Structure 1
Amino acid sequence: MTTSDMSDDGEPTRRDFIHIFGAATAAAGAGAVLWPLVHQMNPDASVLALSTKEVDLSAVPEGQAIKVMWQGKPVFIRHRTPAEIEEAKSVAIAQLKDPVARNANLSGTEEATDENIVTGASGEAHEPWLILVGVCTHLGCIPLGTSAGESRGDFGGWFCPCHGSHYDLAGRIRKGPAPENLLVPPYQFVTDTVVKIG
């Protein structure tokens, strides 16, 4: 401020107050106009509802699997038997085509051990429950092996008949053209029998 903008006692004048008040009012008005424009760019409620999905697993018997949809993609949830868990644990990393777990709940560099694949967002492994995005990593087909009686390929997990990719009981690619293991989506157990995906 210059000395002409101040009164004789060094205080701001009435004109200064009017300018400050006018600028503050204009800023508030601009905010009131811009807020709805910015807010309309947020995802709508139906999109937010699809970002997560809760699944009750209490009705899935041991040895069976279900398929649910999450964000437009199938997710396979398998309730593995103790024998299936032991078989998945017995596979050496050196035998795997893709040695990385591909688990969104981990940092992304962990080895494809069974424990790393069944670890959720809490960092706790839930051995009986295998949760995978059901999209073949070769060309995006949906592998078979969710329903009882379906062919599960050479390794007891999933089989993609389109190009012959075989996945084991931990969703790891073992044979065929697929370059990577099936992806593990972000998930956490809300209770012992309810899992939230996303």
Structure 2
Amino acid sequence: MLSAQEACAIVLALYDGTLRDGKPERFVIQSCELSSKGDYWIVRANTEDCVLHGMTQYCYVGVNAHLVNVVTGARETVASCFTVEEYLQDKYDLQAAAGNLYVLIPAFARDDKPALVNLRQKLACSYPETLKLLGEQRQWLTGKRRQLQEAQRLLASQGIATSIELQIEAAGAIAIGVEAWHSDAVLKALRSRLR
């Protein structure tokens, strides 16, 4: 197993040769800890001026952390737009999917009249269109499991029950991303499924 010191050395080697005002920039380790599963060292580094002297004007931005595999020493960079936990969860979910796709589907049948009426009203569509969403177009949304869980939560707040399944293909399912973080966006994505 790779030690914390070895993981830090791998990360610091990335910054060798970085210049500020034509002079070499010195980087230091801000923190180093094991991931919750113990499979990665989570290493954060920045300039010495920022970390040790609090001079935030010399802080390099854009990188949240570096992940160093404890077995192989392979390094991955986590951008600052993700938390390390989100990045790792997406990575673990992708491994668990084993080549399949995460798909959000309705968790009710066509004969559930109250659920059918609610879905039709929320989508402002016709009964035949609603029935299609519960029949041949059951694969509503696809994407990262974490994002589908958020869409599922948002739909549940609208009284629309769904489930997330792994499927070989997602024929016609709408791919969602970070844009689906409110109920209207998720409903809009479902409406676009009707086209």
TM-score by length of 1: 0.26
Q: Which has the higher contact order (CA 8 A, sep 6+)?
A: 1
Which structure has the larger Rg? 1
TM-score by length of 2: 0.26
